[in-house]
Amino acid sequence: MKAWFSTLGVVAQMAFRNLFASRLKTVIVGGIIFFGGLLVVAGNSLLDSLVASMSRSVIGSVAGHIQVYNAQSKDKLEVMGRMMMGDPDIAQLDDFAKVRASLMKVPNVKSVVPMGISGALVTSGNTIDLALEKLRNAVKAHDKAQIESEKSHVRQIVQVLQSDLKNAKAIQDERTIDREDAEAVTRASSDQFWRDFDQHPYESLEFLENRIASQAADADLLFLNYVGTDFQAFQKAFDRMRIVEGSMVPPGRRGFLFSKQVYEDQLKLKAARRLDKIKEGIDAEGLSIATDPDLKRMVRENVSQVREILLQLDAAKTADFRAKLQRELGSQETDVGKLLAAFFQTDDQNLHQRYDFFYKQLAPSLELYRVRIGDVLTIKAFTRSGYVQSVNVPVYGTFEFQGLEKSTLAGALNLMDMVSFRELYGFMSGEKLAEIQQLQKAAGAHEISRENAEAELFGSKSVDDGAAAPASPPRHVTATTTPGVAPVMRDLGESLTGKLQREEARSRVFPPDEVEKGVVLNAAVILKDPSPKKLHETMAAIEAQGTKDGLTLKAIDWQQAAGLIGQFVNVIRMVLYVAILIIFLIALVIINTALVLATLERFKEIGTLRAIGAQRRFILTMLVIESLVVGVIFGGLGAGLGAIIVSIVGKVGIPAKSDVWFFFFSGPRLYPFIGTSNIVAAFLIVLLVSAFSSFYPAWIAMRVTPRQAMAEEE
């Protein structure tokens, strides 16, 4: 053993000597290995940091560590990045209380949040419809002052339509303009019409509602993705959630929380929202209206699209806006539309001044949001059975996730109480079932079996005793999402939905155990120990425990639950690994070629060593050690530099340039970190490449004989 170590020491000394003797080979081979070590450490560190950040975004916003759903579902569950108009075929979990009890038996489970994800189309407010509704209410109340105020607003709207009509005639063929619509606008703008209004207000209102309202339609069709859940359990499990405006929905109440992102982007006055984005682009991103095409586009849209504001102005507001804008712009123009267009002609110099003026002077007189906090929102959606269902839910406020305020992906889902979600999705809630039973009792209705249906309906007698067949005892009704729901139940459900008034929607309370006992589509599971190893062990334990409890549960991790968004990391990792593989394959060829050339140059030296008694394994060991030394030195330098670069970047952070990267970075910046595994992986890859690339040159060297070396010298 001592002799072996002595021989190894001699071989190592010769390897180091040859390393510095052949500098060209060392520089070429070392440079390639240096770059490879740098790439492995830096690339893997950035990727691991990205995965960690993205996991915080997905886990902390909606998915939890694990998502659980019915294993009999035909489609895979995706809780993010998917529009829900075409709902995936996810089988329901019939009793959430039983599911929760089963999940809580798994030692690593900390909490469980009931969920269901779907989407619906909602029509936002129409300015003229609201104005006409106020006018009709004033007429009913015989409030002369209010009537005059609302009349002036409607007349202002008609003037806007008349202006639109003139512009249309100026730029297109009059034959393309609907003559009846034009005549209706002309009539509604005349003084005679409004004199007649005082004599026959309801006839005039009918005309305005039928002939004018459709022309002034400014409502938007909104698509809302929402999560049905238990608000208190959700807020406790996802502690990054915070209420921005309004308040949390109280326990036992129906309610809706808008995502702040959705509320701003879809429900805010478009001109105001564009002003916000222009200011944000200049202040936060360092952009310029003069050079950035998106900011230029938003300025043009604000200038050309002032109609949305004009429709909100009655006579008093019009006069107020005219005076304020004239002072601000130093203009004598009397047309408020032209004044607004000139005001919105913003540039880098006046943007901040006009932004402040808009919010301080103009915004207080406008409805900035189509749906306000405290309003009751009517949501209509197709159930799983295919018919339309609707619910009225009060809007309690807006929310966002801390650190993800600017992320569109994290802010795409709104929140709804689970009871309302079940009704929209086609499930029967306990509350609605109780009301149906009350209606049945009041109407004397009862359920009958199929075999007794004819006797009950047509009064035929029993064959046995000639008596009327007794009604079968009432049975418990459970609504399903299949087409088997009885039409009478559907009709009763629709009548109940129509019965819900706005004030009633605010005051209705459901029993505390209503959420626990009902149907859910999926559930988010929060773990005590979310480490990768424990996470996968817990997923297996959940499915096994579900089987024991008679439940068909499927557990997936946050990355699978995130759908395509979660797979993005796998794509990046694959690209990185392919890049590393290609680089090291090229490195193998180059290193191998360099070592072969270096070996051919050392024929005399190798032959001399063989002549004085060096064995082939001595030559092999010497060349392999030379390659390993190059790999260790330059690979270590590359890995060290990669670690230094990542550490420096980790202190400064990589800024998120878009809302998508804001989500992936779990905030405005990504702060990369160094993992020990990345450095170890870099060393192992470098050593393997170095050793493998030296085998062929060593094989050539082993075949050199003293005779060949002497022949080479001659």
Is pLDDT at 488 greater than 90 in this prediction? no
Selection from 6-10, 231-235, 605-609 with the highest mean pLDDT: 231-235
Share of the chain above pLDDT 70, in %: 73
Q: What is the rounded distance in angstroms from the CA atom of residue 107 to the CA atom of residue 545?
A: 11
Cβ neighbours of residue 489 under 8 Å, at least 6 residues apart?
Answer: 428, 436, 477, 479
Mean pLDDT across the stretch 365-392? Answer: 84
Distances from the Cα of 365 to the Cαs of 128, 226, 309, 314, in angstroms? Answer: 16, 31, 10, 10
The predicted-structure confidence for 558-586, as pLDDT tens digits, reads as follows 888 887 777 777 777 787 778 777 777 77
* The pair of three-digit structure tokens given for residue 600, joined into one six-digit string: 């051919």
Is pLDDT at 633 greater than 90 in this prediction? no
Is pLDDT at 471 greater than 70 in this prediction? no
In this structure, CATH architecture of domain 64-114+517-560? 2-Layer Sandwich (3.30)
The predicted-structure confidence for 271-330, as pLDDT tens digits, reads as follows 999 999 999 999 988 899 999 999 999 999 999 888 889 888 888 888 999 999 999 999
Is pLDDT at 228 greater than 50 in this prediction? yes
Residue in 475, 253, 481 with CA at minimum distance from that of residue 385: 481
CATH 3.30.70 domain span(s) along the chain: 64-114+517-560
Q: What is the rounded distance in angstroms from the CA atom of residue 399 to the CA atom of residue 227?
A: 13
Angle at 281 between CA 280 and CA 286, to 5 degrees: 115
Q: Which helix (H) or strand (E) holds 69?
A: strand 66-70
- 86 vs 619, higher pLDDT: 619
The predicted-structure confidence for 260-270, as pLDDT tens digits, reads as follows 999 999 889 99
Residue in 362, 320, 365, 412 with CA at minimum distance from that of residue 58: 412
Cβ neighbours of residue 39 under 8 Å, at least 6 residues apart?
Answer: 579, 580, 583, 638, 642
- Quickly state the pLDDT bin for 11 (edges 50, 70, 90): low
Cβ neighbours of residue 58 under 8 Å, at least 6 residues apart?
Answer: 80, 558, 559, 561, 562, 565, 566
Please report the pLDDT score of residue 597 as a whole number: 65
Share the mean pLDDT of the chain: 78
| Residues 605/98, Cβ–Cβ less than 8 Å | no
| Residues 520/114, Cβ–Cβ less than 8 Å | yes
Please report the pLDDT score of residue 429 as a whole number: 60
Pairing of strands 66-70, 522-527: antiparallel
Q: What share of the chain is helix, strand, coil (3-state, %, to 5)?
A: 60, 10, 30
